[in-house]
């Protein structure tokens, strides 16, 4: 459980309660304390519980072997995509190869799932969107991933946005990516997971016709 920020700690009657920060949420870790400093309990996040066990010891931090390591066979650009007045998506565009003049790459927009997330879908030390973008770029596919509203450098409020608002952001990201001279306008896709799979329903029909859908675990 690395990279968690502790917001509150309370010990009462042999029970340890630790409130941590995970994105914009504050779930609680509640467990019984043993005689050797060990704690067994559950991480409670809404209706979901994940069991854990903690023991005394030296924490050894290890690098994530899946994280991209330079030099990379592609180049990255920090970009800003305007959706509408007051709403801007900040993201990273990965272009295969190092030649700025190279063109004709197929392209994909990575769409996040439930909850406000940054462009890497960072959670508890993991960055699956970064790992996926790296894999696709190495395979010769241009990739755009972006921060959700209110996360990272993204503007506007995630909590007040509707499914239609999210789809407008998706369409803006796809249109922006299609306008880049390095990518093919006739070959592209949107890749989403959990709730990212729902938003496809809200895209205008014209956008649907140009998109090769690839939604992982999307409902409906």
Classify 128 as helix, strand or coil. helix
Q: Would you state the pLDDT for residue 78?
A: 94
For residue 199 the two structure tokens come to: 């938003």
How far is Cα 118 from Cα 154, in angstroms, rounded to an integer? 8
Helix, strand, coil % in the chain, rounded to nearest 5: 20, 40, 45
Contacts of 135 (CB under 8 A, 6+ apart): none
Q: Would you state the pLDDT for residue 61?
A: 67
Cis preceding linkage at 125, omega within 30: no
The domain ranges of the chain are 5-54, 74-215
> What's the N-to-C CA distance of the chain in angstroms?
33
Which tens digits make up the pLDDT trace of 10-69? Answer: 888 889 888 876 656 677 888 888 877 788 998 877 677 788 888 888 777 666 677 888
How far is Cα 36 from Cα 55, in angstroms, rounded to an integer? 8
For residue 213 the two structure tokens come to: 């859908």
The model's pTM? 0.67
Q: What ranges make up the beta strands (E) of 39-101?
A: 39-45, 48-54, 74-84, 87-96
Q: Would you state the pLDDT for residue 209?
A: 39
Q: Would you state the pLDDT for residue 62?
A: 66
For residue 205 the two structure tokens come to: 């029909």
Quickly count: other Cβ atoms within 10 Å of residue 205's Cβ: 6
CATH H-level superfamily of 74-215: Alpha/Beta hydrolase fold, catalytic domain (3.40.50.1820)
Question: pLDDT (tens digit, 0 to 9) for every residue of the chain, 220 residues total?
Answer: 445 678 788 888 889 888 876 656 677 888 888 877 788 998 877 677 788 888 888 777 666 677 888 889 999 999 999 888 778 889 999 999 866 666 789 998 998 776 778 888 887 677 889 999 999 999 999 999 998 887 777 777 777 777 777 778 888 888 899 888 888 877 777 777 655 455 555 454 445 434 454 545 444 4
Furthest CA-CA distance within the chain: 67
Q: Would you state the pLDDT for residue 195?
A: 54
């Amino acid at each position: 459980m690395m990279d968690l920020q502790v917001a509150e700690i309370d010990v009462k009657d042999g029970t340890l309660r630790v409130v941590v920060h995970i994105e914009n949420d504050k779930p609680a870790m509640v467990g019984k304390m043993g005689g050797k400093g060990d704690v067994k309990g559950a991480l409670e996040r809404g209706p979901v519980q994940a069991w854990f066990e903690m023991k005394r010891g030296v924490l050894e931090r290890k690098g994530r072997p899946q994280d991209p390591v330079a030099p990379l066979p592609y180049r990255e650009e920090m970009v800003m995509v305007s959706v509408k007045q007051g709403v801007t998506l900040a993201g990273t565009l990965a272009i295969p190869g190092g030649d700025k003049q190279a063109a004709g790459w197929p392209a994909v927009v990575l769409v996040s799932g439930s909850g406000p997330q940054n462009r890497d879908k960072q959670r508890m030390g993991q960055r699956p969107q970064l790992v996926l973008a790296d894999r696709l770029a190495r395979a010769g596919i241009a990739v755009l991933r972006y921060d959700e509203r209110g996360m990272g450098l993204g503007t506007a409020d995630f909590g007040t946005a509707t499914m239609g608002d999210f789809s407008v952001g998706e369409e803006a990201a796809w249109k922006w990516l299609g306008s880049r001279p390095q990518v093919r306008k006739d070959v592209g896709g949107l890749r989403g997971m959990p709730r990212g799979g729902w938003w496809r329903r809200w895209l205008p029909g014209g956008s649907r016709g140009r998109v090769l859908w690839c939604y992982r675990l999307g409902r409906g």
